[in-house]
């Protein structure tokens, strides 16, 4: 009975692997193959590019901070415009909302023309309000 136990133990410890599979032990560290000249040149080029970027990128950012801020604001503006157009397009596809908004816009335009453009005194009042708003936005010197 002891000999049967020993046979089972030795069979459990030995795992047969098919010949078509990789015969390296699982989890073992396999030495890397030597790089070909093309791969070595590519790796050297990547290393040089990485060093160049790491040495010049911080200086480039610090020297061009205003340009980067302006570029970021322009990008945010483009994204905001795109989202606004998409939202308005979605609203325009709702059956009742588009004609209703057109009526509101037409009504406001008629009220504005009636209120501010009918008499010379109200046109002067509108011009004065416009100049006041312009001075508030641009400053006193404009």
Tell me which residue has tokens 């404009």.
142
Provide the pLDDT confidence category of residue 131 given band limits of 50, 70 and 90. Answer: very high
Number of H helices, E strands in the chain: 5, 0
Q: For residue 61, what are its two tokens?
A: 């950012």
What is the C-alpha to C-alpha distance for residues 4 and 113, in angstroms, rounded to an integer?
107
Tell me which residue has tokens 């905001």.
80
More confident residue, 83 or 46: 83
Q: Are 72 and 66 in contact (CB under 8 A)?
A: no
Q: Is the pLDDT of residue 58 over 90?
A: no
Domain locations in the chain as residue ranges: 52-93, 96-142
| Other residues' Cβ atoms within 10 Å of the Cβ of residue 99 | 9
């Amino acid at each position: 009975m002891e000999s049967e136990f020993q046979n089972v133990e030795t069979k459990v410890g030995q795992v047969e692997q098919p010949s078509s599979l990789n015969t390296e032990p699982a989890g073992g560290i396999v030495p890397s193959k030597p790089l070909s000249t093309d791969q070595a040149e590519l790796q050297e080029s990547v290393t040089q590019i990485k060093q160049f970027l790491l040495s010049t990128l911080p200086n480039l950012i610090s020297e061009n901070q205003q340009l980067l801020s302006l570029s970021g604001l322009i990008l945010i503006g483009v994204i905001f415009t795109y989202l606004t157009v998409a939202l308005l397009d979605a609203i325009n596809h709702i059956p009742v909302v588009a004609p209703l908004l057109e009526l509101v816009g037409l009504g406001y335009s008629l009220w504005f023309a009636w209120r501010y453009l009918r008499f010379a005194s109200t046109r002067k009042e509108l011009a004065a309000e416009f100049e006041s708003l312009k001075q508030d936005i641009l400053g006193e010197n404009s």
